[in-house]
Amino acid sequence: MTTVIAHAEMKSWDETTWDGKRYDEVSGPKQTAGGMTVEYSGALEATGDMRFVMSYPDDKSCVSTGYEVVTGALDGRQGTFVLHHVGGFRDGVADATVTIVSATDALAGLTGSGRITWAQGEPGRLELDYDIT
């Protein structure tokens, strides 16, 4: 098992309620869907394209799940892999566990899991434990 750390910078964010309103225009409990683009640096030099759904019990927290297609190089190996995210947002921090569900090219055979954490207003941090066969 190899452990890597990568920094994540959000490049775009789009989140709307089921009826098409911006997530921050609706207060109280709501359901949303959206997407984001992330640039990774460090042991992972890649771009991530994520789609997610979120459920907010209030304006300060949510739970979420989504899938992210990551394209680039992991420890120098070029390819694409998909991460399944399960997490949420509370106390100004987004946090999710991630699991690798598929991979292609020089990353074929990649398996593993980890955690991504984003403190509000700061870059994200991905810690990923992986094996490749």
Task: Chunk the chain into consecutive blocks of 10 residues (it has 133) and report each block's average pLDDT, rounded to whole numbers.
Answer: 95 93 92 96 97 94 97 96 97 95 97 95 94 92
Q: What pLDDT sits at residue 120? A: 84
The pLDDT value recorded for residue 50 is 97
Fold that domain 2-132 belongs to in CATH: AOC barrel-like (2.40.350)
Q: Output b/e per residue, 56-92; b: 16+ Cβ within 10 A.
A: beeeeebebebebebebebeeeebbbbbbbebbbeee
Provide the residue ranges of all domains of the chain, joining segments of one domain with +. 2-132
Q: What is the pLDDT of residue 68?
A: 98
The pLDDT of residue 8: 96
